[in-house]
């Protein structure tokens, strides 16, 4: 069975797609979401094989949601849109396919045929949609973070530093620390290198938060942030950081 998540802010569109999908014996509906934030939570909780993702949604668009996903864990993506230019972008994202509203059952069947082929492949390449979404959108100005049992969006410029913790990353802001199941490398790729700089194999800092640098020993430095927090700059990353600060 291929488990599908339907994401669309219009209830009639969700209902139509759901009715047509269940006509196929190998497709099951894992869930539905009416907005990007709810969809992000559903993706984490339900772990569907494919998401039918509406591009135009209030709050968090389909492209923005795709850009927030960890490529290695991303499901297959079928973008659904009523706008031709977005449909072309979705196809360029190397998504499984796109559905241009209004679509018919024959068009959906062709999409499902492609979906079955990709789902059966040993290396599905679902993450390529995530990578290209980021390339089209540029650096993320907002980041999805968990808060209690929900998710919320924070402004990327409010992040002070990032700290790898095994398979997680601690996101430090002025008043809170959020724990994401992400790799530091992938999170930096999403947030963009123009704002953040790696200072250690397990840490990166918002350049605008650096207050001072003080030498320690063997080429390492102490990085003091405007908040008063202190971090370690390893000599491996010293040259690159100094070049960006001068």
pLDDT of residue 85: 77
Question: How many whole angstroms separate alpha carbon 146 and alpha carbon 150?
Answer: 6
Does residue 128 or residue 242 have the better pLDDT? 242
Which overall architecture, per CATH, does domain 2-137 show?
3-Layer(aba) Sandwich (3.40)
Residue ranges of the chain that CATH labels 2.40.50.1020: 155-245
Residue 125: pLDDT above 70? no
Q: How many CB atoms lie within 10 A of CB 214?
A: 10
Question: Is the preceding omega at residue 233 within 30 degrees of 0, hence cis?
Answer: no
Q: What is the band of 124 on the pLDDT scale with cuts at 50, 70, 90?
A: low
pLDDT of residue 73: 84
Question: How many whole angstroms separate alpha carbon 230 and alpha carbon 246?
Answer: 20
Question: What pTM was computed for the model?
Answer: 0.85
pLDDT of residue 122: 58
Residue 96: pLDDT above 70? yes
Structure tokens at 106: 């024959």
Which of the listed CATH numbers 3.50.50.60, 2.40.50.1020, 3.30.2310.20, 3.40.50.10490 matches domain 155-245? 2.40.50.1020
Q: Residue 104's Cα: distance from chain center in Å?
A: 30
Q: What is the band of 123 on the pLDDT scale with cuts at 50, 70, 90?
A: low
Each residue's pLDDT tens digit, 74-84: 899 998 988 87
Q: What is the band of 49 on the pLDDT scale with cuts at 50, 70, 90?
A: very high
Please state whether beta strands 196-200 and 168-173 pair in parallel, antiparallel, or not at all (unpaired): unpaired
DSSP assignment of 210-242, as one string? EEEEEE-STT-EEEEETTS-EEEE-HHHHHHHH
Q: How many CB atoms lie within 10 A of CB 82?
A: 15
CA angle in degrees (0–180, nearest 5) for 203-158-224: 50
The whole-chain average pLDDT of the chain stands at 90
Each residue's pLDDT tens digit, 162-221: 999 888 999 999 989 999 999 999 999 999 878 999 999 999 999 999 999 999 988 889
Residue 88: pLDDT above 90? no
Question: How many whole angstroms separate alpha carbon 202 and alpha carbon 7?
Answer: 35
Residue ranges of the chain that CATH labels 3.40.50.2300: 2-137
């Amino acid at each position: 069975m291929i488990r599908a998540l339907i994401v669309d802010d219009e209830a009639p569109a969700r209902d139509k797609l759901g009715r047509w999908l269940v006509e196929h014996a190998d497709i099951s509906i894992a869930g539905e979401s009416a907005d990007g934030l709810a969809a992000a939570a559903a993706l984490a909780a339900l772990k569907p094989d494919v998401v039918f993702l509406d591009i135009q949604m209030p709050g968090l668009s389909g492209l923005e949601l795709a850009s927030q996903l960890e490529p290695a864990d991303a499901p297959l993506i079928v973008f659904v849109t009523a706008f031709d230019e977005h449909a072309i972008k979705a196809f360029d994202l190397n998504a499984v396919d796109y559905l241009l509203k209004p679509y018919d059952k024959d068009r959906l069947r062709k999409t499902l045929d492609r979906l079955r082929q990709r789902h059966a492949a040993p290396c599905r390449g679902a993450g390529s949609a995530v990578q290209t979404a980021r390339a089209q959108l540029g650096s993320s100005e907002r980041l999805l973070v968990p808060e209690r049992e929900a998710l919320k969006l924070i402004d990327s410029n409010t992040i002070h530093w990032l700290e790898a913790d095994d398979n997680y990353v601690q996101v430090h802001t002025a008043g809170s620390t959020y724990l994401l199941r992400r790799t530091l490398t992938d999170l930096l790729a999403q947030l963009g290198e123009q704002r953040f700089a790696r200072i250690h194999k397990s840490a990166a800092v918002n350049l605008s938060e650096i207050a001072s640098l003080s030498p320690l020993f063997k080429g390492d430095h102490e990085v003091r942030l405007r908040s008063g927090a202190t971090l370690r700059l390893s000599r491996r990353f010293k040259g690159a950081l100094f070049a960006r600060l001068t």
